[in-house]
Amino acid sequence: MDIYRRINRELRTGGDWSAHQEAVRGLVAAALGQAAARRRAVVLGVGNGRDLPLAELAAAFPAVVLADVDGEALRQTAGRLRGRFPQVQWTAVEADLSGLHVRLRSWRSWPRAEAVAQVLAGVPPVPAELAPWAGSADLVLSVGVVTQLVAPVLREHLPTAPEAWPRQPADALFRGVADRHCALVDRLLAPGGMAVLVTEVFSSEGVPAARREEFLALMGGGGPDRERRVAASFPDALVLAGIFFLDACRQRQGPRPMRSWVWQPAAGRVLGMAGWIQPAGGSGGLPG
């Protein structure tokens, strides 16, 4: 899809990715330390792969499935990896991970929340393209995916700007998408498998220009209560899809020990990230 192709192209260069890449690498190492086997990994929303420790996956797994809706970026990434790591079976799967894009592109205005629930109920829990790998992944990665599953499509096809979206149906959609993504991850995992889950929880895009420096200073301050302080001072900076994802995963498997960090994916844009590891239908967390 053109919108996702543009996003992946914009993320190829620029920004400061070092803290984000290191955080994701640490989460993957922690998950590998708890996974029962190392037969297959599934990477959801691989895109151009810039923020993912793909070399580490190549060293750990004989087979890796790469899934993304952007076929161009997917083919380029898979081709590059096949050249660098020919010993690994790289499988590229072009798929709409939400299962909703065809339906959303037909919307010309927001339906009622009840209608949104009906749309969500009519979508299979696992995309047909990924069904062959259900229950077979010893590691599943979803890094910065859930917030991009439907929002870009809505921004492109609906006439209203995101700040004017009606709260009830928008919340119903994003909560439903977050819950379904948690369920998809769990359905892909093999018994004893582990997932690495990462999402944005704050974004400078929701901060008025006059308060941008204040937001950046607060985000960079660290401390155990940083998220609470940012949420209190900048409620519009909350990325609701990411918050809903956290809530959905907690409801399924209880609270997770989390790591948080700041990521600047492009000049002038700052994201507050949260990441954790999650076992297949059990309890787990991060090493101390």
Between 228 and 46, name the one with better pLDDT: 46
pLDDT attached to residue 288: 31
pLDDT attached to residue 285: 40
The DSSP code for 266 is E
The DSSP code for 116 is H
Domains and CATH numbers, the chain: 2-279 (3.40.50.150)
Evaluate if residue 8 carries a pLDDT over 80. no
Comparing 128-137, 182-191, 237-246, the range with the smallest average pLDDT is 237-246
Identify the band that residue 260 occupies on the pLDDT scale cut at 50, 70 and 90.
confident
The pTM score is: 0.88
Evaluate if residue 222 carries a pLDDT over 80. no
Evaluate if residue 286 carries a pLDDT over 50. no
Q: Which residues contact 278 (CB under 8 A, 6 or more apart)?
A: 185, 194, 195, 197, 249, 253, 256, 284
Residue 254 tokens, joined: 């209880």
State what percent of residues in the chain have pLDDT above 70. 90
Other residues' Cβ atoms within 10 Å of the Cβ of residue 194: 27
Average pLDDT value over all residues in the chain: 86
- Helices 71-84 & 2-10 angle (0-180, nearest 10): 50
* d(C-alpha 214, C-alpha 234), whole Å: 10
* pLDDT tens track for 100-153: 888 888 888 888 989 999 999 999 999 999 999 999 999 999 999 999 998 888
Between 195 and 203, name the one with better pLDDT: 195
Identify the band that residue 14 occupies on the pLDDT scale cut at 50, 70 and 90.
low
* d(C-alpha 271, C-alpha 19), whole Å: 12
Evaluate if residue 226 carries a pLDDT over 80. no
- Stretch 59-77: mean pLDDT, rounded? 97
> According to the per-residue pLDDT averaged within each range, which of 47-56, 83-92, 120-129, 176-185 is highest?
83-92
* d(C-alpha 74, C-alpha 94), whole Å: 7
Dihedral-angle region of residue 167 (phi above 0 means left; psi in -120 to 50 means alpha; beta otherwise): alpha
- Stretch 163-191: mean pLDDT, rounded? 91
3-state secondary structure of 112: coil
pLDDT attached to residue 155: 81
Between 286 and 143, name the one with better pLDDT: 143
3-state secondary structure of 72: helix
The DSSP code for 42 is E
pLDDT attached to residue 33: 96
Strand duo 259-266 + 269-279: pairing? antiparallel
* d(C-alpha 112, C-alpha 102), whole Å: 18
pLDDT attached to residue 199: 94
Evaluate if residue 284 carries a pLDDT over 70. no
Strand duo 189-203 + 137-143: pairing? parallel
pLDDT attached to residue 234: 84
Evaluate if residue 275 carries a pLDDT over 70. yes
Residue 252 tokens, joined: 């399924």
Identify the band that residue 61 occupies on the pLDDT scale cut at 50, 70 and 90.
very high
State what percent of residues in the chain have pLDDT above 90. 50
